[in-house]
Amino acid sequence: MNFNPKHILGIKDLSAAEIHFILDSAASFKEINSRQIKKVPTLRGKTIVNLFFEASTRTRTSFEIAGKRLSADTINISASSSSVVKGETLEDTAKNIEAMHPDIIVMRHSASGACDYLAQRLKCSVINAGDGTHEHPSQALLDVFTIRQHKEKIEGLTVTIAGDVTHSRVVRSNIYCLTKLGAKVRVAGPRTMLPPGLEKLGCEVYTDLREAIRDVDCIMMLRIQRERQGKTLIPSLREYARFYGLNPENIKLAKPDVIVLHPGPMNRGVEISSQVADGPHNVILDQVENGVAVRMALLYLVSGGEPLQQN
Amino acid sequence: MKILVINGHLIDPKNNIDGQSDLLIDQGRVAAVGTGLNADDAEIIDAAGLLVTPGLIDIHVHLRDPGLEYKEDIISGTRAAAAGGVTSLACMPNTKPVIDSAPIVEYIINKARRHGSANVYPVAAISQAMKGDVLSEMGELKAAGCVAFSDDGVPVVSGELMRRAFEYADTFGAPIISHAEDLSLVGEGCMNEGEVATELGLKGIPWVAEDAATARDIMLAEFTNSRLHVAHVSTRGSVELIRQAKARGVKVTCEATPHHFTLTDEAVRGYNTNAKMNPPLRRQADVDAVRVGLADGTIDAIATDHAPHHYDEKNVEFAVALNGIVGLETLLPLTMNLVRDGIISRQQAIALMTCQPAAIIGIDRGSLEVGAAADITLIDPELEWTLVANELKSKSKNTPFGGWTMRGAAIRTLLAGRTVYQR
């Protein structure tokens, strides 16, 4: 099989075979990151623009490193330094960048659907680095890659995603990704943070974290987005931590070999206690490491790369 | 100048006429109705195969004039109306400046009389500048010619102000039109709350935001014994609240839009900004309830909420796109779909677009008895045509029905005997 999508806009559009193909490609790239010379000429001469309309350290850096290790020229544009503040439309901003002939635009935007919007209007490839509260495909792929690394397979696993579902862009992508690969997904949080119809996406919905993590293989804690929080969804971080924080006590309800993921940045003592975040179950830094490999694979595949030879 | 309309099928619900009949127009008024009419000196309009109805009446239109003429103006908006078979319309006050003073009411009426292709009846603001603080000068506005009061698009938050608005408007014999929406429940919502919004990652507007506000305004109308008209009813709960209120004698009427009885929130998929409106497109259960409400008489009128917006205001990210779609030119075919679907009779459909909305805003239109103004629409209820957005008469092209095959069209529209549109 070969898979060279024009864009990566979301996991919803991908088949299980395509997801596996991306993960396998990422596995080949991962090795490069531990070499002495961490650079291959694969995308030499390609230009990648990281167009970030929202603050992001992890994702942007990860895409930038991924591009550089493939020898592409990567340029970062952040909204604060762009003409958006001068009232330019998204379409005009993007078309101006496109006029300089980049090969790929990697975009993060606060509006759900912004990447779909751009992909319909541009000739270059678009990779969604997070659009509003819609999708964040590269995050889901690196999560699943990390789970596969530790559990060897995805099929048959039970994965709980817990926390502020309503503000999360990671949840949808992960539900699609995990269920397409045969995992069972549980989603947990207070009802104020669970948008209606979640179960239609293919998951089970829980309001009791302890019930939700009982006997599961993986737990993915979502960040409480302090900057996005209205005043009405939870009364206090203190109470949230008590009922929805993952700690050394409640984690015992999960399988003994449970792994704990977090897309970061973590709020220690809120959704995850330091004992768990630094404890034996955590694979959080593996996620970050794998993120580079997964993004190298995405950049490579949308550039029309041939199937990689394992070396 | 006499005009004789022959061979048509006349539907005049107010006078319970539904059959073959001729109609004679003299000096802009209906001069005679009956079979075998003769007038040697009259221009003959052969309406064979067509319905001859009172000119359609749309009591919820945004003409955007004054101040927002880049979207629409009185000339283009009434031209779109005529093309849709609409001869009378009520225009909403969220213009720039807001319709909250007599000179603006007079400006609109005069411009429409001089340059328009339809009768225009301004709806004035409930509160000054639609800010929700102080009542507008309702007495003077009514004297200048406005037909109702509404802060359409910006619901009156204060229960006290709304109570006084009911009482004060009733003093001058005008109804309050409620845009029923609890803004605190809407928040930053931009489409109906439900599984489609969840999947698209868009903030939802729950149905209870409409129901709770409808309930409040019904209770205030009941308490003040005043007339309430609820605009663009879109939820099952609102329809039921109004049904119950009517049963216990509350003076409440309501309208529904063609898009709310035609489309569901599924139309938003793909982040289609032409499916973004307020109230939002709802679930199938709501669409069904609106259809039942039209059938059983709970809903009194079909009104379009014609809301023209410029291309630039729709060609943006979904969350920041403006609410609303144009509707004047799709009112007729979408309503005739209800007849074809067996929801309402043909006579009911015409009543919902003529005499019933006329009664709500208290205008002397919407029927064809002798002496009435000869506002007449000739309709081919089965004519098939494809909607091409750029061919709409409206200045704005924001419709979710582009490319749809429509059935039913106005063939000729007469305003006081003058042909203002011919297909």
Q: Which residue of B has its CA nearest to A195?
A: B198
Question: Quick one: what percent of chain A has pLDDT higher than 90?
Answer: 84
Q: What is the pLDDT of residues B235-249, one digit of tens each?
A: 999 999 999 999 999
In this complex, the residue of A172, A197, A200 whose CB is nearest that of residue B201 is A172
A167 close to A156: Cβ distance less than 8 angstroms? no
**Annotated catalytic residue: which of B58, B73, B286, B305?**
B305
Q: What is the pLDDT of residues A140-191, one digit of tens each?
A: 999 999 999 999 999 999 999 999 999 999 999 999 999 999 999 999 999 9
Please give the torsion angle defined by the CA atoms of residues A202, A206, A209 and A214, in that order, rounded to the nearest 10 degrees: -70
Kindly state whether residue A174 falls inside one of the protein's structural domains: yes
Query: How many residue pairs from chains A and B have C-beta atoms closer than 8 A?
Result: 68
Segments of A200-249 assigned E as strands: 204-206, 218-221
Taking the whole predicted model, whether its pTM rises above 0.90 is answered as: yes
Question: Quick one: what percent of chain A has pLDDT higher than 70?
Answer: 94
Instruction: Tell which wins on pLDDT, A69 or A87.
Output: A69
Q: Does B196 touch chain A (CB under 8 A)?
A: yes
Compute the nearest-CA separation of B30 from chain A (Å). Answer: 53
**Residue A310 confidence (pLDDT) above 50:** no
Which own/partner contact pairs does A89-92 have at CB distance under 8 Å and 24+ positions apart? A89/B312, A89/B315, A89/B316, A90/A114, A90/A117, A90/A118, A90/B316, A90/B317, A91/A117, A91/A118, A91/A121, A91/B315, A91/B316
Q: What is the pLDDT of residues A241-283, one digit of tens each?
A: 999 999 999 999 999 999 999 999 999 999 999 999 999 999 9
Check if A44 is active-site.
Answer: no
Q: Does B200 touch chain A (CB under 8 A)?
A: yes
CATH number at residue A111: 3.40.50.1370
Give the span between the Cα atoms of B301 and B287, in whole angstroms: 16
Q: What is the reported pLDDT for B3?
A: 97
Mean pLDDT of A80-90: 69
> Which two three-digit tokens encode residue B134?
């102080």
Both A211 and A275 in one domain: the answer is yes
**Residue A67 confidence (pLDDT) above 60:** yes
In this complex, the residue of A113, A196, A201 whose CB is nearest that of residue B317 is A113
Enumerate residue ranges in chain B where pLDDT < 50. Answer: none
Both A117 and A192 in one domain: the answer is no
Both A185 and A280 in one domain: the answer is yes
pLDDT band at A308 (very low <50, low <70, confident <90, very high): low
Q: What is the reported pLDDT for A86?
A: 67
First to last CA, chain B: 22
Give CATH for domain B55-361. Answer: 3.20.20.140
**Residue A309 confidence (pLDDT) above 60:** no
In this complex, the residue of A90, A172, A200 whose CB is nearest that of residue B316 is A90
Both A157 and A85 in one domain: the answer is no
Q: What is the pLDDT of residues A220-248, one digit of tens each?
A: 999 997 766 566 789 899 999 999 999 99
Both A261 and A144 in one domain: the answer is yes
Both A127 and A159 in one domain: the answer is no
Q: What is the reported pLDDT for B38?
A: 87
Mutate to test the interface with A, among B317, B318, B320, B322 (most CBs of A within 10 A): B317
The total number of structural domains that make up chain A: 2
Range of the domain at A218: 137-287
pLDDT band at A94 (very low <50, low <70, confident <90, very high): confident
Q: Please tell me what DSSP assigns to residue A232.
A: S
Q: What is the reported pLDDT for A304?
A: 86
- Residue contact B201–A90, C-beta within 8 A: no
Give CATH for domain B2-51+373-422. Answer: 2.30.40.10
pLDDT band at A2 (very low <50, low <70, confident <90, very high): confident
Kindly state whether residue A4 falls inside one of the protein's structural domains: no
Q: Does B197 touch chain A (CB under 8 A)?
A: yes
- Where do you find CATH 2.30.40.10 in chain B? 2-51+373-422
